[in-house]
């Protein structure tokens, strides 16, 4: 089953209105991204785990880690390096803590977003996004196109994680070190190719059909 496939259920989380799910997603993500204190991040992660338990999906909580650990590792390494040689340089022991907090925060944000997706049918997600972007129509935003773009972006995250994992395995099989350049360079090229292929496939199906209306 895909990382972002809908998991049907009858829990309070499944039956919760879409706007409420988005409000919780925005609130928890904001805390995790902008308030990177270890205690705060730990409390937010506990809250996310609690939501998974309420949704009767406890085994799904660690799925973003199992499938996306290369991306989380890359985020942690980048923060660790920044801590060593950035403006506020610190010795390795002091730089490790903030790096772990970043990994935990990114994981929590991904887990929160994933819970929204897997407890909401795809058609409901698209309708909700289209309604949201409808407010921006006077600014020239096409609601259906914007909603489709966001949906494609969200569902591309597992593909990118898989590309990182496949490249890491290929490097390991050749006995090469998995440095950031060797690891991410081919992934970026593959991601651009995937994006172009996705766009061409959508265009071939006439999507979005009313983009010029």
* Region 87-91 average pLDDT: 65
Mean pLDDT, the chain, rounded, equals: 80
Supply 193's token pair.
């190719």
Longest dimension (CA), the chain: 58
Q: What was the pLDDT predicted at 207?
A: 59
Q: What was the pLDDT predicted at 176?
A: 73
Q: What was the pLDDT predicted at 50?
A: 96
Judged against a pLDDT cut of 80, whether residue 179 lies above it is answered with no
Q: What was the pLDDT predicted at 212?
A: 47
Judged against a pLDDT cut of 80, whether residue 70 lies above it is answered with no
Express each pLDDT in 7-37 by its tens digit: 888 999 999 998 899 899 989 989 988 888 8
Confidence of residue 46 (pLDDT cuts 50, 70, 90): very high
Q: What was the pLDDT predicted at 72?
A: 85
Residues 6+ apart with CB under 8 A from 186: 167
Supply 190's token pair.
């593959």
Q: What was the pLDDT predicted at 213?
A: 47
Task: Determine what percent of the chain is predicted with pLDDT higher than 70.
Answer: 83
Query: What is this structure's pTM?
Result: 0.69
Q: Among 78-82, 113-117, 152-156, 186-190, whose mean pLDDT is lowest?
A: 152-156
Q: Helices (DSSP H) in the chain: which residue ranges? A: 12-15, 18-34, 38-54, 63-85, 92-118, 122-134, 143-173, 180-204
Phi-psi map region of 140: left, alpha, beta (phi>0 left; psi -120 to 50 alpha): left
For residue 67, give the nearest of 156, 151, 158, 128 by alpha carbon: 158
Domain borders along the chain are 1-120, 132-213
Confidence of residue 111 (pLDDT cuts 50, 70, 90): very high
**CA gap 103, 76 in Å, rounded:** 5
* Region 173-192 average pLDDT: 74
């Amino acid at each position: 089953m895909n990382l972002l496939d809908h998991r049907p259920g009858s829990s309070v989380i499944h039956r919760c209105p879409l706007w409420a799910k988005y409000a919780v997603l925005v609130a928890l993500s904001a805390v995790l991204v902008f308030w990177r204190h270890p205690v705060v991040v730990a409390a937010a992660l506990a809250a996310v785990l609690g939501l998974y338990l309420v949704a009767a999906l406890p085994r799904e909580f660690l799925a973003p880690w199992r499938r996306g650990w290369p991306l989380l590792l890359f985020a942690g390494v980048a923060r660790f390096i920044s801590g060593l040689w950035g403006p506020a340089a610190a010795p390795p022991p002091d730089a490790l803590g903030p790096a772990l907090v970043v990994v935990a925060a990114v994981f929590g944000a991904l887990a929160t977003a994933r819970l929204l997706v897997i407890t909401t049918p795809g058609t409901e997600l698209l309708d909700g996004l289209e309604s949201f972007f409808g407010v921006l129509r006077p600014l020239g935003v096409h609601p259906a196109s914007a909603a489709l773009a966001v949906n494609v972006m969200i569902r591309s995250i597992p593909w990118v994680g898989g590309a990182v994992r496949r490249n890491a395995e290929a490097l390991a099989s050749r006995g090469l070190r998995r440095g950031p350049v060797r690891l991410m360079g081919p992934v970026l090229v593959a991601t651009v190719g995937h994006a172009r292929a996705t766009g061409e496939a959508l265009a071939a199906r006439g999507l979005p059909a009313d983009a010029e209306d």
